[in-house]
Amino acid sequence: MPRVNRSSARCLDAAGITDPELRSAFEQCRRLHAEHGKTYYLATLLLPPEKRPYVWALYGFARYADEFVDSLTDPDPQALLDWGAVFLDALAQGSTTNPVGAAMLHTMRRWQIPRAHVEAFLESMRMDITVTEYKTYADLEHYMYGSAAVIGLQMLPVLEPVAPEAGARARALGEAFQMSNFIRDVGEDLERGRVYLPMEDLDVFGVTRQVLARGVVTPPVRELLKFEIERTRQLYAFAEPGIDMLHPTSRDCVRTAFTLYGGILGAVEAAHYQVLTQRVSVPMPERLKVAIPGLRRARAARKDAAKWVAVP
């Protein structure tokens, strides 16, 4: 079992998670999150400690499943099918021996996350086994609902919305994050045999899979990427008002993630749209420039929240 470090232990204690095996399960999820989701992991440090383990579980569950179909070295689609079926059975039974699944089950019970969200997620993961391109943006939206939008919807109870409209904004933010990754990872996804930019868009700009595979950012490729970036920024613009629809102690975490993921689009532009042969990223100094002021605001928000709770 993974050993729980001091920082993790403080968060698990704050969340009231005391069972040693369950603590180890959450720690395994935390490590998946820290290793594979560095930008989002940095943002979640701004959440109250008692909420962080649940985000580790949500991310860890998604990453664990995703690796079955996204690994460049050892993909195992059948394992995804088997693991997904076992987890859905575990949802009905209320227990599982898989550590990542156990942390996810506990999180779903704690925050009353609907089974339908997990079913939609697993459906999209199954699509990655056989679907290598999407004809229209509407087709891609169907995929993104399960692979990204429901992640935002799963997060929403943990973030404690204060307005009913927060759900639509959370869904859009999940899609914006996903589109940012799709734009950044065009070359890497091609190695997996997939293109996530809609075929109808490629047709408009006269771009084919073969053109992308050459690794040269031609003027038509550049215009295609500009179009996708603009569409994604519109998603961010729709999602942004949702940040203020969350509990004050959640806002700085989400705003930091919003800024850092949105920064991926700027990094693509700064790299002259070269996403076919390299992976662009927001440099760590830039990430810290966003995260550190957010951390100060988040601490102040927690103190303010504690004062209100303390008032009789």
* pLDDT score, position 6: 86
Alpha-carbon span 53 to 55, nearest angstrom: 5
SS3 112: coil
Write the CA distances from 266 to 66, 216, 306, integer angstroms: 26, 20, 37
The burial of 78, by beta-carbon neighbours within 10 Å (0-12 exposed, 13-18 middle, 19 or more buried), is given as exposed
With beta carbons less than 8 A apart as the criterion, state whether 233 and 269 touch.
Answer: no
Q: Taking residues 10-25, report their average pLDDT.
A: 96
Average pLDDT on 298-303 reads 70
Query: Does the global pTM surpass 0.85?
Result: yes
Domains and CATH numbers, the chain: 9-116 (1.10.600.10), 131-304 (1.10.600.10)
Write down the residue that tokens 């959370």 correspond to.
170
Q: Which of 4-8, 160-164, 279-283 has the highest average model confidence (pLDDT)? A: 160-164
Give the pLDDT confidence score for residue 40 in this predicted structure: 86
CA angle 215, 217, 222 (to 5 degrees): 140
The 10s digit of each residue's pLDDT in 231-279 is: 999 999 999 999 999 999 999 999 999 999 999 999 999 999 999 999 9
Phi-psi category of residue 303: left, alpha or beta, with phi > 0 → left and psi -120 to 50 → alpha: alpha
**Which candidate, 62, 292, 284, places its Cα nearest to that of 178?**
62
DSSP 100-139: HHHHHHHHHHHHT--HHHHHHHHHHHHHHHH----SSHHH
Q: Is residue 294 very low, low, confident or very high in pLDDT (cuts 50, 70, 90)?
A: low
Q: What pLDDT, on the 0 to 100 scale, is given for residue 195?
A: 97
